[in-house]
C-alpha cells in the first residue's frame, strides 16, 4: 500500500506541466539521437547529458529518464530498418526485424517493437516500484564490506563473465579502475596519478570518458572501415498496423520477454543483451512457426524487444537502491545524479523520496509518451536515417565536444576527449569491450572507499570480508562468475558467452 | 561485434605484444606513483597506496596473460583499418582545441565539422566548413544563451550576441511604439 501512495505522489511530481515538458523534450531528443545508426542508449545518454546541466535536479532526471527510454526505442528502429544495431541489445531485433522489413512488413515489425517496449516498460517500471522499497530495506543492513563485495561481483559480471574473452574484459575493467585512481584521495588528500597537473586533481569526468569512448571512438572506428559497409534503408511499405494475427502472436512474446528481461537487468548481471538472447531462444522454441525464424518471425522481434526494455528498467533497481551501475548507460546516469551531489542508494529513498518516486513515475510517463509520439512520427524518424554519413558524424562530434566543454569549459577537457577517443578506437579495433572501462572508472573509487572503510572498522583484518554471510556469498558468486566462464571457454564451450558479448549498452 | 576468435596465422601477434607492453608500462607507472604516497595514518594498515599497488599487480598479470595469448595467436582477427579518415578526424579535433580559445566555439567547431565530414568522404570543404560554422553558431545560441552553458566566445559569438540583442530591442521598441 505504501508503494502505491509513494508512486501516486511521484506521479503528482511527474505530471506537473513543466516536468511533462521535460519528459517530452527528453523522449524526443532521446529518440532522435538513438535512431541514428551506430548510436546506442549509452552514447545517447552521454551525448545528451549536457542538455540537462542547467535544470533543477528533479527536472533534469526526468528529462534523463525520457532520453534513456527514447534512446532505447530509437535503437530498435535503426536495427529494423537498417540492420545496423546501434547497441548489442538490438542485435536480435535486427535478426528478425530486418527480415520482416525486407519482406515489406516493416510497419508491423516497428509496431510490435514499440508496443512490446511499452508493455514491457510499463510492467517492469511497476515491478521496479514494488521491488525497490524491498531492496532498500535489505540494503539498509549493508555495511561497507557488503557493498564492497557487491561491487566486486558487478566488476566481474560486467567485464569477465560474458563476452568472448575474460582477458580482454578484465583488461578493459582495469584500464577503467586505473583511470579511477586519478585525482585526490578522499581520505588522505594526497594526489594520485595526477603528475602535478591541476586539471587532473578532480579526477577524470565520467561524461568525458563516456562521450570519448562511445561517440568519438565509434566515429573513428566507422571512418576507418572506409566504404566497406554498404547500408540500405528498408522503406516502410504497406500498413503500419498489426493484423489480428500479429497481435495474437505478439502478446505472449511481450509478456514472456518482460518476465525474462526484468530479473536479468535487476541482478548485477551486466547489460540488457543477455535477456534478449534468452527471449529469442525461448520464442523460437515455443513458436508454432519455428520455420519462420530467420525469415522474419514477429515473435522474434516482440519478445527480445520487450526483454530489452524490461531489463533496462531492471538495471534501475540496483542503480537507484544500491547506487550500483551494472551497465554503461547506468554508469552515465549515476554520473548524472552525482553532478547534483545526489548519491543513489537506500538513503536517497528516505532523504529525497520526492525525487526518486518522481523519477520512477516519469518513467511511466515517458513510456506512454513514446508510444503516442513514435508510431505516428515514424516517417520523421526514418528520415533521420537518411542523413549522409559525413554530416551525421560531423554533427555527432560537434555534440560530443559541446557536451565536454559544456560540462567543464577548458581546452584540457577537449584534449582528454581526443586521447580517450583514440583509446576507445584502439579498444574497438582489438575487440576489447567498452562498458567495463566506464563502469570501472565510476565504480572503482566507490569500491575502494568501501573496502578501506571495512578494513578500518576491522583494524586491517581482511578476513572481515568473509565473516559476514552476505559478503561471503557475494564474493563466492563473483569467484564463480570469474572462473566458470574461463573453464567453459577452455572446454571450447565459450560460444554462448561470446554471443552475449556486452558491447555497447 | 567480435567475429571469429580463432586467429590462426601471425604468431607471435606483434600488435598484441605491444598492448602487453603498454599494460606493463601502465602497471609500472601506477606502482611508481603509489610508491610516492604516504601512509594513511598510524592505525590504517591500508592507505592510499594499497589499491594502486593491487591494481598495478593486476595490470602486470594482465600484461603477462596478454603475452601468452599473443604468443598463441589467440587474439581475434582485426579488420584492416584505413588511416586517412582517422587522421582527418583527429586533425579536426586537434584544430578545434587549438583554435577554440581564440576563434570561439562556432568557428573552431565548424572547422571540426568540415574535417570530420572530409574524413567521411565529403570533399567540398568550402561548403562543409561554413555549414558547420552555421550549425555551431545555432547550437551556441541555444546552449550558451538559452541554457546558459559556458561555451567559449570569440568574435563570431560577440557579433551574434549583438545581432540577437539588436533584434530583441528592435522588436520590443517596435511593439513598445505600437502600444
Helix (H) or strand (E) holding A184: strand A183-184
**Identity of the residue in B75, B86, B118 whose CB atom sits nearest the CB atom of A224:** B86
Does residue B9 belong to any structural domain of this protein?
A: no
Does residue B121 belong to any structural domain of this protein?
A: yes
* Pick among A401, A415, A457 to test the B interface (most B CBs inside 10 A): A401
How many Å apart are CA A287 and CA A279, to the nearest integer?
A: 12
Q: Average pLDDT of A289-310? A: 85
Does residue B173 belong to any structural domain of this protein?
A: no
- Three-state SS at B118: helix
CB contact under 8 A, B82 and A501: no
How many Å apart are CA B124 and CA B132, to the nearest integer?
A: 12
How many Å apart are CA A453 and CA A430, to the nearest integer?
A: 37
Give the count of domains, chain B.
2
Q: Average pLDDT of B66-81? A: 85
How close, in Å, is residue A190 to chain B by CA atoms?
7
**The pLDDT of residue A150 is above 70:** yes
Helix (H) or strand (E) holding B147: none
How close, in Å, is residue A126 to chain B by CA atoms?
33
B141, B91: one domain? yes
**The pLDDT of residue A471 is above 80:** yes
Does residue B159 belong to any structural domain of this protein?
A: yes
Q: Pick the range with the lowest mean pLDDT from A80-94, A204-218, A240-254, A435-449.
A: A80-94
Q: Average pLDDT of A469-490? A: 87
Given a contact cutoff of 8 angstroms between Cβ atoms, the answer to whether A370 and A69 are in contact is yes
The answer to whether the predicted template modeling score (pTM) of the entire model surpasses 0.90 is no
CB contact under 8 A, A91 and B120: no
Cell 516482440 belongs to: A302
Q: Residues of A with CB below 8 A from B109's CB?
A: 398, 401-402
> Residue B46 has what pLDDT?
74
**The pLDDT of residue B112 is above 80:** yes
Does residue B97 belong to any structural domain of this protein?
A: yes
B87, B157: one domain? yes
**The pLDDT of residue B177 is above 70:** no
B102, B136: one domain? yes
> Residue B7 has what pLDDT?
43
Q: Which three cell numbers stand for residue A131?
A: 521491488
| Structural domain boundaries, residue B26 | 14-72
* Pick among B6, B81, B121 to test the A interface (most A CBs inside 10 A): B81
What proportion of chain B, given as a percentage, has pLDDT over 90? 45
Point out the domain boundary residue: B45, B72, B99.
Answer: B72
**Identity of the residue in B1, B74, B147 whose CB atom sits nearest the CB atom of A54:** B147
- Per-residue pLDDT band for A287 (boundaries 50, 70, 90) equals confident
> Residue B115 has what pLDDT?
95
Give the model confidence (pLDDT) of B85-96 as tens digits.
999 999 999 999
Compare B113 and A293 and report the one with higher pLDDT. Answer: B113
B46, B90: one domain? no
> Residue A89 has what pLDDT?
63
**The pLDDT of residue A393 is above 80:** yes
**The pLDDT of residue B8 is above 50:** no
Does residue B43 belong to any structural domain of this protein?
A: yes
* Pick among A86, A90, A390 to test the B interface (most B CBs inside 10 A): A390
B67, B87: one domain? no
Q: Average pLDDT of A165-175? A: 92
B64, B91: one domain? no
Does residue B42 belong to any structural domain of this protein?
A: yes
Q: Which of A276, A252, A250 is nearest to A262 (CA)?
A: A276
How many Å apart are CA A212 and CA A416, to the nearest integer?
A: 8
How close, in Å, is residue B175 to chain A by CA atoms?
28
Burial of B39 (0-12, 13-18, 19+ CB in 10 A): middle
**The pLDDT of residue A504 is above 50:** no
CB contact under 8 A, B51 and A459: no
**Identity of the residue in B47, B82, B147 whose CB atom sits nearest the CB atom of A224:** B82
Which residue of chain B has the CA closest to A422?
A: B90
- Phi, psi (rounded to 5 degrees) for A28: -65, -50
- What are the start-end ranges of the H helices in A323-388? 328-338, 346-351, 353-374, 378-384
> Residue A180 has what pLDDT?
94
> Residue A106 has what pLDDT?
82
- Three-state SS at A183: strand
How many Å apart are CA A137 and CA A24, to the nearest integer?
A: 33
Q: Average pLDDT of A74-88? A: 73
B53, B93: one domain? no
* Pick among B96, B101, B154 to test the A interface (most A CBs inside 10 A): B96
Q: Please enumerate in sequence order all residues whose Cβ is within 8 A of that of A212, keeping only pairs 6 or more positions apart, or say none.
A: A400, A404, A416, A417, A418, A419, A420, A421, A423, A424
CB contact under 8 A, B90 and A224: no
Give the model confidence (pLDDT) of A313-358 as tens digits.
888 889 999 888 888 888 888 888 887 888 888 888 888 888 888 8
> Residue A94 has what pLDDT?
78
**The pLDDT of residue A500 is above 70:** no
CB contact under 8 A, A225 and B96: no
From residue A384, alpha-carbon distances to A71, A77, A303 in Å are: 14, 11, 26
Size of interface A-B (CB pairs under 8 A): 204
How many Å apart are CA A86 and CA A76, to the nearest integer?
A: 8
Q: Residues of A with CB below 8 A from B111's CB?
A: none
> Residue B129 has what pLDDT?
94
Compare A132 and A498 and report the one with higher pLDDT. Answer: A132
> Residue B179 has what pLDDT?
47
Point out the domain boundary residue: B72, B94, B122.
Answer: B72
Which residue of chain B has the CA closest to A177?
A: B55
B51, B98: one domain? no
CB contact under 8 A, A394 and B128: yes
How many Å apart are CA A320 and CA A337, to the nearest integer?
A: 10
CB contact under 8 A, B118 and A390: yes
Produce one character per residue of B109-130: b if its CB has 16 or more CB atoms within 10 Å, e if not.
bbbbbbbbbbbbebeeeeebbe
Q: Average pLDDT of A249-278? A: 81
How close, in Å, is residue B9 to chain A by CA atoms?
16
Q: Residues of B with CB below 8 A from A388's CB?
A: 122
B20, B51: one domain? yes
B136, B110: one domain? yes
CB contact under 8 A, A181 and B40: no
Which residue of chain A has the CA closest to B118?
A: A390
Give the model confidence (pLDDT) of B49-69 as tens digits.
889 999 999 999 999 999 998
Q: Pick the range with the lowest mean pLDDT from A81-85, A203-207, A262-266.
A: A81-85
Amino acid at each position: 500500500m505504501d508503494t502505491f501512495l509513494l508512486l501516486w505522489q511521484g506521479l503528482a511530481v511527474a505530471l506537473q506541466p513543466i516536468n511533462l515538458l521535460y519528459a517530452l523534450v527528453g523522449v524526443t531528443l532521446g529518440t532522435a539521437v538513438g535512431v541514428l545508426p551506430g548510436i546506442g542508449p549509452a552514447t545517447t545518454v552521454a551525448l545528451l547529458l549536457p542538455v540537462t546541466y542547467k535544470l533543477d535536479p528533479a527536472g533534469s532526471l526526468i528529462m534523463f529518464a525520457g532520453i534513456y527510454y527514447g534512446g532505447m526505442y530509437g535503437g530498435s528502429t535503426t536495427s529494423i530498418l537498417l540492420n545496423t544495431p546501434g547497441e548489442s541489445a538490438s542485435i536480435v531485433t535486427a535478426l528478425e526485424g530486418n527480415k520482416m522489413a525486407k519482406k515489406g512488413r516493416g510497419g508491423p515489425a516497428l509496431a510490435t517493437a514499440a508496443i512490446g517496449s511499452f508493455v514491457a516498460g510499463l510492467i517492469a517500471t511497476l515491478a521496479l516500484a514494488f521491488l525497490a522499497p524491498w531492496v532498500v530495506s535489505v540494503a539498509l543492513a549493508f555495511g561497507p564490506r557488503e557493498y564492497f563485495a557487491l561491487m566486486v561481483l558487478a566488476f566481474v559480471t560486467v567485464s569477465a563473465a560474458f563476452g568472448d574473452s575474460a582477458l580482454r574484459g578484465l583488461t578493459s575493467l582495469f584500464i577503467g579502475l586505473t583511470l579511477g585512481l586519478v585525482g585526490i584521495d578522499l581520505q588522505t588528500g594526497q594526489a594520485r596519478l595526477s603528475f602535478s597537473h591541476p586539471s587532473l586533481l578532480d579526477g577524470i569526468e565520467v561524461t568525458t570518458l563516456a562521450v570519448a569512448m562511445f561517440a568519438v571512438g565509434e566515429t573513428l572506428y566507422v571512418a576507418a572501415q572506409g566504404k566497406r559497409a554498404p547500408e540500405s534503408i528498408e522503406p516502410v511499405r504497406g500498413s503500419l498496423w498489426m493484423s489480428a494475427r500479429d497481435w495474437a502472436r505478439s502478446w505472449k512474446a511481450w509478456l514472456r520477454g518482460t518476465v525474462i528481461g526484468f530479473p536479468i537487468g535487476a541482478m548485477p548481471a551486466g547489460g540488457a543483451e543477455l535477456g534478449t538472447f534468452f527471449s529469442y531462444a525461448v520464442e523460437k522454441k515455443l513458436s508454432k512457426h519455428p520455420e519462420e525464424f530467420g525469415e522474419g518471425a514477429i515473435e522474434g522481434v516482440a519478445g527480445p524487444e520487450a526483454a530489452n526494455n524490461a531489463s533496462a528498467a531492471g538495471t534501475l533497481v540496483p542503480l537507484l537502491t544500491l547506487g550500483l551501475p551494472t551497465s554503461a548507460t547506468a554508469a552515465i546516469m549515476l554520473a548524472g545524479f552525482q553532478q547534483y551531489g545526489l548519491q543513489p542508494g537506500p538513503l536517497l529513498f528516505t532523504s529525497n523520496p520526492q525525487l526518486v518516486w518522481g523519477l520512477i513515475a516519469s518513467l511511466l510517463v515517458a513510456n506512454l509518451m513514446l508510444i503516442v509520439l513514435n508510431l505516428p512520427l515514424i516517417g520523421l524518424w526514418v528520415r533521420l536515417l537518411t542523413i549522409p554519413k559525413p554530416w551525421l558524424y560531423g554533427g555527432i562530434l560537434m555534440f560530443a565536444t559541446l557536451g565536454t566543454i559544456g560540462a567543464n569549459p577548458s581546452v584540457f577537457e577537449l584534449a582528454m576527449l581526443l586521447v580517450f577517443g583514440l583509446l576507445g578506437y584502439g579498444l574497438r579495433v582489438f575487440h576489447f569491450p567498452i562498458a567495463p572501462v566506464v563502469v570501472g572508472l565510476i565504480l572503482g573509487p566507490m569500491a575502494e572507499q568501501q573496502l578501506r572503510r571495512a578494513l578500518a572498522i576491522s583494524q586491517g583484518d581482511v578476513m572481515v570480508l568473509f565473516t559476514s554471510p552476505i559478503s561471503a556469498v557475494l564474493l563466492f558468486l563473483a569467484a564463480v562468475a570469474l572462473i566458470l566462464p574461463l573453464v567453459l571457454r577452455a572446454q571450447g564451450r565459450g560460444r554462448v558467452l561470446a554471443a552475449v558479448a556486452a558491447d555497447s549498452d | 561485434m567480435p567475429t571469429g576468435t580463432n586467429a590462426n596465422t601471425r604468431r607471435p601477434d606483434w600488435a598484441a605484444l605491444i598492448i602487453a607492453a603498454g599494460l606493463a608500462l601502465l602497471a609500472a607507472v601506477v606502482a611508481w606513483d603509489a610508491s610516492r604516497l604516504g601512509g594513511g595514518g598510524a592505525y590504517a594498515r591500508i592507505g592510499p597506496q594499497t589499491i594502486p599497488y593491487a591494481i598495478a599487480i593486476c595490470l602486470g598479470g594482465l600484461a603477462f596473460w596478454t603475452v601468452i595469448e599473443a604468443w598463441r595467436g589467440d587474439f581475434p582477427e582485426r579488420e584492416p583499418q584505413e588511416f586517412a579518415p582517422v587522421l582527418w578526424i583527429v586533425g579536426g579535433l586537434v584544430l578545434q582545441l587549438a583554435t577554440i580559445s581564440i576563434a570561439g566555439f562556432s568557428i573552431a567547431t565548424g572547422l571540426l565539422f568540415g574535417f570530420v565530414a572530409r574524413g567521411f568522404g565529403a570533399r567540398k570543404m568550402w561548403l562543409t566548413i561554413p555549414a558547420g560554422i552555421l550549425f555551431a553558431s545555432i547550437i551556441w545560441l541555444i546552449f550558451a544563451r538559452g541554457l546558459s552553458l559556458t561555451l567559449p566566445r570569440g568574435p563570431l559569438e560577440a557579433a551574434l550576441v549583438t545581432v540577437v540583442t539588436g533584434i530583441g530591442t528592435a522588436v520590443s521598441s517596435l511593439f513598445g511604439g505600437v502600444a
